[in-house]
Chain A
């Protein structure tokens, strides 16, 4: 009797342990089954009604917040009741790593947002090639061609420049700088009043890295050679070159003069935004998306904007290509996924709330009317008449830097910001770039 009880206990334990290995349905999947559209009507129209489908829409929370994606999804499902859209957002994890994990687990969402499409997804045949009907709505998607095919839409543009505190500028009689020398002089005046001239930081590497690359580097290289990034891919130019060193040296000189504040290395994006919005820093080099954050912080001064000036010659508008979501090649509902993707990326009903919330500048064939922030409108009007260049490191498609290089570049940028030898750093950039370039080929 004792032995049979013992055996029973062992079998129960074994069952419990192995049960935990089975897959469990998520609460989202559970909620899907409760909200899936069904119809009991017997009219002919209903008999022709499309089969219910469920799509998963995913993004990093800081890219497109859940409440925004839920909002636009509801608009779509109201018009397409057979479609259920589950929104999945995440934070605290890097996008590529997150979706690679999902891919490895066979759980890639139907439609997801990734800033720069890593070739590993394409090589694994995990991403759907976009059909012509999608590309026709977002013509700039052609810039995002990867080995002759287009996998990711481009439906908005970003503009990078310098937001500034108009009150501080007015009090010190500073005009919007048109050259680096004028920017230097303006910064010196601001610092003399014990105000930090620039809000920037390297706790979130991309903030300071973007400043360094897309401002100092772009101004020093790409203003004169717009296809510099493409030439680097072809090994026609190197980071260890006078113009790149000039850009980094200029940043380094500004840093030594104390224009960035001493705690820069440990300052995050949020802290930088708050520093500027609370008047502790006079200027904030950033992209147009930060306007949404300003609105939330409600600064008590008027904000202006000027394009980052040239070292010499004509200042150009520095822009980024706003990539859009991608469609999983593993989606069980390709037609519905494409329909939703088209709507999400170009229909005014979708783009208007997205552009309004994220302060995006739409770049699609459809006319998108939305309540743009007056500051954004002023930026657009200032840059409409300017020549523009794609920022350093912001190319897409075949022209994107080798996978992983952007991270290394940002780390090297932070090394330079921390005072390392610039020549050694740019040489290291070339070594790492060339090592990773072999992977791209």
Chain B
């Protein structure tokens, strides 16, 4: 038998494997295998617990796409995603630009804006639930106090306002995180470029459009993708704030998915919804990334 010569290259590969092997193993056990099981379960009527199940083909997928509840969840999730992604990124960029130009107290303001991101989703939800309470919440108390009692609403209990209230809270919580990314990127823009454009007579808007925006395009790509993925998968804040209500007005795809898994014991349907969400997230991410990458430049 021919002995394997331990060349430097073999040694390096072996040591590399020893380093990333455990992580790869854990990833395989806790991500790949469950995802594969979920994919297989989506074609069955498995209840998530029993050893017995039947293969039912694409019946789960047909039921999902013809069910009013899932369509409603898709609508809610889409609205939350579109509005939160657009506004969180615009606000984060504006804050980053303002903060970039602040000379004193930059760290303080950066911390203040980042605090909501540090708080857990549950704490944020309970805090806002109290603030938006119709009877004793600070918003309505303030409105009553300044003589605008006619504007008081049940912000989380009225279907007309629940979804938008939730989306605004999501934006509030996320803006600090993306602001940090934009701020860091802004600080990498060479000052000479800005100086040169100023000498050439470019105003602030022209500078932003032709220099700043193209150079922070990679950060925009990153932030947009991250915020899309976060919004599509939102769950904990929905449960804590509104439980998907009133009625089904704030129910998202993940909420319906977990309802099927835990309350009706239809793991097959829940897995099918998870697969649909995964494919949708992947497709949206690829399309958006492809589009935004074309906008990136290097000067």
Q: Give chain A's interface residues, CB within 8 Å of chain B.
A: 3, 6-7, 10-11, 13-14, 17-18, 21, 94, 96-97, 100, 103-104, 118-121, 123-124, 126, 202-203, 205, 261-267, 403-404, 407, 411-412, 414-415, 417-420, 428, 431-432, 435-436, 439
A205 to B129, CA, bound (A): 15
- The reply to whether A262 and B248 form a contact with Cβ atoms under 8 Å apart is no
- Asked, given contacts A104-B49, A265-B157, A407-B259, whether A415 binds B246 with beta carbons under 8 Å apart, the answer is yes
Q: Mark B149-192, 1 if CB is under 8 A from A, else 0.
A: 00000111111000000000000000000000000000000000
* B116 interface residue (CB < 8 Å to A): no
- B157: chain A residues within 8 A (beta carbon): 202-203, 263-266, 418
Closest to A417 in B: B246
| A328 vs chain B, min Cβ distance (A) | 13
B244 in complex: contacting residue of A17, A411, A435, CB < 8 Å: A411
A404 to B256, CA, bound (A): 12
* B207 interface residue (CB < 8 Å to A): no
**Which one of A119, A121, A123, A411 has the highest number of Cβ atoms from chain B below 10 Å of its Cβ?**
A411
List B residues 44-88 near A (Cβ within 8 Å). 47-50, 63, 68-69
- Asked, given contacts A10-B18, A265-B156, A265-B245, whether A120 binds B133 with beta carbons under 8 Å apart, the answer is no
| B237 vs chain A, min Cβ distance (A) | 15
- The reply to whether B15 and A10 form a contact with Cβ atoms under 8 Å apart is yes
Closest to B69 in A: A432
- B154: chain A residues within 8 A (beta carbon): 262-266
| A262 vs chain B, min Cβ distance (A) | 6
A6 to B11, CA, bound (A): 12
- A261: chain B residues within 8 A (beta carbon): 135
* B299 interface residue (CB < 8 Å to A): no
A418 to B249, CA, bound (A): 10
- Asked, given contacts A266-B133, A436-B264, whether A123 binds B15 with beta carbons under 8 Å apart, the answer is no
**Which one of B50, B248, B264 has the highest number of Cβ atoms from chain A below 10 Å of its Cβ?**
B264
- The reply to whether B265 and A263 form a contact with Cβ atoms under 8 Å apart is no
Closest to A413 in B: B247
A48 to B281, CA, bound (A): 65
Interchain Cβ contacts under 8 Å between A and B, 21 examples = A10-B15, A14-B21, A94-B263, A100-B265, A120-B48, A120-B50, A123-B47, A123-B49, A263-B135, A263-B157, A265-B154, A265-B157, A266-B154, A404-B264, A407-B259, A414-B245, A418-B157, A418-B249, A431-B68, A436-B264, A439-B264
Number of A-B contacts (CB under 8 A): 123
- A18: chain B residues within 8 A (beta carbon): 22
- The reply to whether A411 and B22 form a contact with Cβ atoms under 8 Å apart is no
- The reply to whether A7 and B18 form a contact with Cβ atoms under 8 Å apart is yes
- B26: chain A residues within 8 A (beta carbon): 17, 21
A418 to B134, CA, bound (A): 14
- The reply to whether A265 and B22 form a contact with Cβ atoms under 8 Å apart is no
- The reply to whether B264 and A418 form a contact with Cβ atoms under 8 Å apart is no
Closest to A18 in B: B22
A94 to B259, CA, bound (A): 11
